């Protein structure tokens, strides 16, 4: 949402004289954030390396998984924390900051599933549009065609700290000795291999200052008259006929045998590092933790590794695809069967990608902004349709919550209530968060609960 509203808002400044922009300039943009009291701008971003402190903090929705048959049995209570940012910038404000784009192979799969508008060439355009690549080696190097240093989303190589460089170099050399390709640029279309990480870090001298979408996309537009941020507000209901059931989070990671087999292979591969001089010379070894469910099995047998994986595996917090394109939303991100409701967040990613999800979500939001602008151009006649009063056109808003965004060009459905006089441009029933804890039970474990009428 941060990205989308900023991109739409900035479009107003480009050329207000054009038809698209005169339509776009009639948009009112709303960000609702179920943040905690006093959550403000970037100073609330934890220092990057301290991200674990965000889990179970007031900045976290604090969801946990249900106990299932096949995952995380060695974890406390056999449950996985499903941390999710409850703060401006969402999870980007508290996440691990790793920047990845997935692979062209992911987007080939999107195309194969019929989402042809989301082919590699078209998504690359938006990855680049968003990017502020601070590594000039990449911007001016042989892979420069995949990069841009003019976007808002800053990307920097991880620390140059001497100790880190030495340890990381050893790790990469070890991987290389196992036959893995070391990538100079992890953003090439098919990044098959491994390499140094790139992080979402501010463009300043202090390596430890994280960036966030709040800082990069919302802060620059926060004082614009058609942009509204409602903090400490929790959307609890959207008045549509879009029904969604509240469910718990079941990881079920290894319910598919193929996933289990692939993870066992991965663990065995990593264990081979023990035999690589880079590791063995410094006493590096695979640690065997006590696992009551597995300890009676022959160590290193297939059944042991299967048990090990099921006990030890957890999440690295990149769930996606709960409102998948093709199933819940169409290629323009509109909820199927509805004209004026879009979802723009990581839940629309059709299949789990080969990488982390922030950058893909940002690409989706950038592209969504263009889709919306284009639709307004195509449908410009709508403004003149007799039933629509100008004031109602002006009440078009793009609001987002739980990953749900309404893009209404025209009047709202007749059954929709306006929230209040003060917020007369919003159609959602918003409730002040006076007691997050008691409200939380009403939330859907995924991104929140959507109560429908
Ligand atoms: C701990 C952690 C580490 C991660 N590490 C990485 C990483 O290293 N690299 C990477 O690429 N990705 C990472 N991710 C994933 C990445 O952060 C997400 O994919 C990305 O932020 C998704 O953006 P989003 O807009 O879909 O959701 P979010 O960023 O979660 O934003 C949702 C927003 O909606 C608000 N909201 C939710 N419900 C309501 C409601 N009812 N009312 C009002 N507001 C509401 C939330 O408070 C939040 O502000 C990580 C995530 C976590 C949690």
Entry pTM: 0.81
Last residue of a domain, one of 272, 293, 312: 312
36 and 169 fall within a common domain = yes
150 and 17 fall within a common domain = yes
- The per-residue pLDDT for 243 is 54
- Other beta carbons within 10 angstroms of residue 446's beta carbon come to 22
Cα–Cα distance, 133 to 143 (Å, whole number): 12
**How is 240-309 classified by DSSP, letter by letter?**
SS-------B---TTSSHHHHHHHHHHHHHHHGGGGSHHHHTTT--------TTTTTSPTTSHHHHHHHH
Q: How many domains does the chain have?
A: 2
H or E stretch including 362? Answer: helix 358-378
Q: 341-343 and 153-157: which strand pairing?
A: unpaired
CATH number at residue 127: 3.50.50
Tell me how far the alpha carbon of residue 136 lies from the centroid of ligand 1, in angstroms: 29
Tell me how far the alpha carbon of residue 421 lies from the centroid of ligand 1, in angstroms: 31
The residue whose CA is least distant from atom 1 of ligand 1 is 95
Q: Are 249 and 447 in contact (CB under 8 A)?
A: no
Q: Is pLDDT above 70 for 420?
A: no
3-class secondary-structure state, position 334:
strand
Q: Is pLDDT above 60 for 432?
A: no
219 and 264 fall within a common domain = no
pLDDT tens track for 234-283:
887 776 658 555 568 988 899 899 999 999 999 999 999 999 998 899 88
pLDDT tens track for 158-173:
877 888 888 889 989 9
Whether 321 is in the pocket of ligand 1, judged by its Cβ within 6 Å, is no
Tell me how far the alpha carbon of residue 382 lies from the centroid of ligand 1, in angstroms: 35
20 and 87 fall within a common domain = yes
Whether 5 is in the pocket of ligand 1, judged by its Cβ within 6 Å, is no
- The per-residue pLDDT for 433 is 33
> Which atom number of ligand 1 is nearest to the Cα of residue 98?
8
In this prediction, residues 2-15 reach a mean pLDDT of: 46
- Helix boundaries (H) for 395-453: 436-440
297 and 330 fall within a common domain = no
307 and 329 fall within a common domain = no
- The per-residue pLDDT for 385 is 36
- pLDDT band for position 340 (50/70/90)? confident
90 and 145 fall within a common domain = yes
> Which atom number of ligand 1 is nearest to the Cα of residue 100?
11
What domain range includes position 273?
257-312
Q: Are 21 and 12 in contact (CB under 8 A)?
A: yes
104 and 66 fall within a common domain = yes
> Which atom number of ligand 1 is nearest to the Cα of residue 54?
1
418 and 370 fall within a common domain = yes
Q: Are 139 and 149 in contact (CB under 8 A)?
A: yes
State residue 431 phi and psi, 5-degree precision. Answer: -120, 135
Ligand 1: which of 1, 229, 357 to mutate, judged by most atoms within 8 Å of the beta carbon? 357
Last residue of a domain, one of 312, 332, 356: 312
Q: Is pLDDT above 70 for 434?
A: no
327 and 306 fall within a common domain = no
238 and 347 fall within a common domain = yes
Whether 90 is in the pocket of ligand 1, judged by its Cβ within 6 Å, is yes
324 and 219 fall within a common domain = yes
The average confidence (pLDDT) of the chain is 76
Cα–Cα distance, 65 to 248 (Å, whole number): 7
- The per-residue pLDDT for 411 is 28
């Amino acid at each position: 949402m941060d990205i989308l509203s900023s991109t739409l808002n900035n479009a107003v400044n480009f050329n207000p004289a054009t038809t698209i922009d005169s339509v776009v300039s009639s948009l009112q943009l709303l960000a609702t954030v179920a943040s905690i009291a006093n959550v403000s701008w970037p100073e609330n971003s934890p220092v990057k390396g301290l991200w674990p402190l965000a889990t179970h903090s007031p900045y976290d929705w604090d969801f946990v998984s249900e106990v299932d048959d096949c995952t995380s049995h060695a974890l406390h209570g056999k449950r996985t924390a499903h941390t999710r940012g409850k703060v401006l910038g969402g999870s980007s404000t508290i996440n691990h900051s790793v920047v990845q784009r997935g692979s062209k192979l992911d987007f080939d799969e999107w195309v194969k599933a019929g989402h042809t508008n989301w082919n590699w060439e078209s998504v690359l355009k938006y990855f680049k549009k968003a990017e502020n690549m601070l590594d000039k080696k990449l911007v001016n190097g042989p892979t420069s065609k995949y990069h841009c240093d003019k976007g808002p989303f800053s990307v920097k190589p991880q620390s140059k700290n001497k100790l880190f460089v030495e340890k990381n170099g050893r790790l990469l050399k070890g991987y290389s000795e196992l036959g893995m390709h070391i990538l100079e640029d992890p953003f090439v279309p098919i990044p098959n291999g491994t390499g140094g990480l790139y992080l979402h870090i501010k463009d300043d001298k202090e390596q430890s200052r994280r960036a966030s979408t709040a800082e990069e996309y919302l802060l620059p537009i926060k004082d614009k008259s058609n942009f509204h941020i409602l903090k400490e507000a929790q959307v609890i209901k959207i008045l549509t006929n879009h029904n969604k059931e509240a469910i718990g989070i079941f990881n079920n990671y290894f319910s598919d045998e193929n996933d289990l087999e692939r993870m066992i292979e991965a663990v065995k591969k990593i264990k081979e590092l023990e035999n690589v001089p880079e590791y063995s010379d410094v006493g590096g070894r695979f640690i065997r933790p006590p696992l009551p469910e597995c300890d009676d099995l022959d160590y290193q047998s297939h059944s042991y590794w299967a048990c090990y994986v099921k006990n030890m595996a957890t999440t690295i917090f990149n769930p996606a695809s709960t409102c998948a394109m093709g199933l819940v939303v169409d290629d323009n991100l509109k909820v199927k069967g509805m004209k004026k409701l879009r979802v723009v967040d990581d839940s629309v990613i059709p299949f789990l990608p080969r990488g982390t999800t922030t950058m893909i979500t940002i690409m989706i939001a950038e592209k969504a902004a263009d889709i919306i602008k284009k639709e307004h151009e195509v449908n410009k006649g709508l403004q003149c349709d007799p039933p629509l009063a100008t004031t109602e056109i002006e009440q078009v808003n793009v609001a987002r919550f739980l990953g749900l965004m309404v893009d209404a060009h025209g009047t709202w459905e007749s059954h929709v209530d306006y929230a209040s006089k003060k917020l007369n441009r919003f159609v959602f029933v918003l409730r002040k968060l006076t007691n997050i804890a008691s409200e939380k039970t009403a939330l859907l474990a995924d991104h929140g609960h959507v109560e429908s009428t």
